[in-house]
Structure 1
């Protein structure tokens, strides 16, 4: 167990919107946010930012020459970070730390610069500084004018929750009192789509729900890509303005058996969830926001791990990927936001595929994320 750490703000820009009110309203909406878009010569399901959010991104890009050459991963993170700083009422003089991760990084810019290089046999002056992974946190620090530590990293799809782990560690160590953490991803490019489709896990469903995340009866993989960023503000102790409290964190990596899959009963999740629980009775956990990518093996293995850890009473299970798809390195932060919204509104949001019990009260929620290679993270939140 860890000393309590408050989440005093959590914001996002995603297909669900760019404010807590819009996001919560769209979680209560029973519809998904997928649409077919053309990539190369093919049409594929994706989940893109709303036009309103895209307008904010364009306005930011045009507000200053220095933003014009930045990738969407940076622009999404800048908008979410500004909103989070305002919500938490932080000031630049607070010198808070920043840890913003991304699985793919500046995918669109990298592909553009590489295409130009193949054609012209020369590279743009800005190609290196604008495609390095560290430029996300650096730009946030520059934009918010904080002097605290800046960290960037990529640990595939559990990246955002690893950012939270880092923020917790800095605060627990006494080296910082406040940390801004999260993830940003803008993977909707032809090359990225082609890579995921090559894994044979992408959805070609034409039914009511193109992504069948947490449908345990599905007979085909149904993962769909989404985009967005989410940022949380962490503060030492339990503050008056806390939206939720981080009371446990867990992490684990299992021995790699395959380049992309975890074991059939997700040993990494079993270990990370047990570590996050610490001395907490598993029966006290009301909800688990699952990683649940919409693949057959990924969904089932996580369910099996949950059943082994929560053998007496399996909590209510949910995920947001049937609605907004998989946002890679940002997905854990968006799941964290989903959990905080359920805690603050005291309402459980189910998936269309499984029947869930009604909850009169929600006190504790666990959030899971895992990436290629079985690097799992679990976070326990309390009201």
Structure 2
């Protein structure tokens, strides 16, 4: 049964820091600036031969130097998804201005997840095994591929001894991580949680696998225009990579240490379609149920929403179902009034980090009173008939935002955030 507790029944949770490593930038400000300018981080793949691939593009992180965040030894040893997560976490902590020497380490936790973890390392090391034999395999292979390594690496680096966990909920991972971190804070399991998602899935086998699923665009002649959420002629998503992490705190803890509060987490919900391992339920019922439950916990009316950050994958089926679910959850009157944006045309689909970066984007909208556009939108789809903020961002007052993120297996997550007004 969905949680129906009101704000008055639990401890309030706020956001005090954010970090991001994305295809658009190596921190939150640069990512946000590129996003609102309508830029795309999607490029043709040149790291390996893609001449026989149906999809020949991806959204890579560019110019990342792990040694800015970790010792050169660790930069060589740790998986890319762990390094991205560590970097984003450290950025968030810097913004939050937490002095760990003044904190009880047992009251701080980590909830950073990944969908596919170190899958690219498995692929790389299998080639080493075949070519050079077992003695040349990296002795740290197993921890390098485990999904929980990213959360544990953050905990080890910072001496965190509270609840440390890694969620893996496919494409919904990042938002689930934030929601579950909020739960831990709400019920007293921690005072501070470092939470989000990280992914580094761009390898020959993974890109080929997504293409074979039929999930990715084949418009290879114009990579930056290939991913077109909600557009009539959309033909699939483009896989991306990166990380997004937030520092969440109980309101009491944040106020006690004099933190600058960015936003409040009002509501969270997680549901399952129980329909198919890849395809969403065509009825949209599970996604709509998640939205309704998150709004109910937040005590927010659909008419109070200023923006929806959609999952918006740019696949033929998913965008129609999400549109249907938004209308089911909000009712037609509110659904047709609230602007809805997808950032995947710009960032690609960051898989396990997708929901977390969408939450970061939502907070940035509140801080700047500007909503980011859905780029590459040219031809309206009669089945996708909401206000998708096409191609050009929009200045507007932003106080309350709903973030959607859905994953393979029918996992539907939803988070409701509110601007901090003191």
How big is the shift at 1:355? 5.9
| CA contact 1:366–1:379 (8 Å) conserved in 2 | yes
1:15 — aligned with what?
Answer: 23
How big is the shift at 1:139? 1.0
2:281 maps to 1:281: no
2:320 — aligned with what?
Answer: 300
C-alpha separation between the residues in 1 aligned to 2:239 and 2:359?
18
Instruction: Decide which of 112, 116, 139 is 2:124's aligned counterpart.
Output: 112
1:323 — aligned with what?
Answer: 346
> Is the alpha carbon distance of 1:129 and 1:349 closer, same or farther for their aligned partners in structure 2, counting shifts above 3 Å?
closer
The normalised TM-score by structure 2 is: 0.84
C-alpha separation between the residues in 2 aligned to 1:260 and 1:338?
26
1:313 — aligned with what?
Answer: 334
| CA contact 2:277–2:410 (8 Å) conserved in 1 | no
Q: Which runs of 5+ in 1 are unaligned?
A: none
Tell me, what secondary structure is at the counterpart of 1:125?
Answer: coil
C-alpha separation between the residues in 2 aligned to 1:67 and 1:241?
31
How big is the shift at 1:165? 2.0
| CA contact 1:82–1:144 (8 Å) conserved in 2 | no
> Is the alpha carbon distance of 1:237 and 1:47 closer, same or farther for their aligned partners in structure 2, counting shifts above 3 Å?
same
1:365 — aligned with what?
Answer: 401
| CA contact 1:34–1:45 (8 Å) conserved in 2 | yes
How big is the shift at 1:116? 1.9
Matches within 5 A, 1:200-215: 200-205=214-219, 206-207=221-222, 209-215=225-231
| CA contact 1:102–1:330 (8 Å) conserved in 2 | yes
C-alpha separation between the residues in 2 aligned to 1:144 and 1:380?
29
1:57 — aligned with what?
Answer: 66
1:193 — aligned with what?
Answer: 207
C-alpha separation between the residues in 1 aligned to 2:388 and 2:164?
43
Tell me, what secondary structure is at the counterpart of 2:88?
Answer: helix
2:371 maps to 1:344: no
How big is the shift at 1:100? 0.9
C-alpha separation between the residues in 1 aligned to 2:31 and 2:359?
13
| CA contact 1:92–1:147 (8 Å) conserved in 2 | no
How big is the shift at 1:286? 1.2
| CA contact 1:10–1:231 (8 Å) conserved in 2 | yes
2:254 maps to 1:242: no
2:50 — aligned with what?
Answer: 42
C-alpha separation between the residues in 1 aligned to 2:175 and 2:165?
14
Matches within 5 A, 1:153-168: 153-168=167-182
| CA contact 2:38–2:373 (8 Å) conserved in 1 | no
C-alpha separation between the residues in 1 aligned to 2:172 and 2:185?
20
How big is the shift at 1:60? 4.7
Structure 1 range deviating more: 238-247 or 369-378: 238-247
How big is the shift at 1:78? 1.1
Number of aligned residue pairs: 376
Structure 1 range deviating more: 33-42 or 184-193: 33-42
C-alpha separation between the residues in 2 aligned to 1:245 and 1:66?
34
How big is the shift at 1:221? 2.0
| CA contact 1:214–1:318 (8 Å) conserved in 2 | no
CA deviation vs aligned residue, 1:177-230 (integer Å, no higher than 9, x gap): 110100100111000001101111211213561101122x12x52210111001
Instruction: Decide which of 78, 89, 103 is 1:81's aligned counterpart.
Output: 89
C-alpha separation between the residues in 2 aligned to 1:49 and 1:124?
24
Structure 1 range deviating more: 72-81 or 41-50: 41-50
The normalised TM-score by structure 1 is: 0.93
What is the RMSD computed on CA atoms of the aligned residues?
Answer: 1.9
Q: Which runs of 5+ in 2 are unaligned?
A: 1-5, 378-386
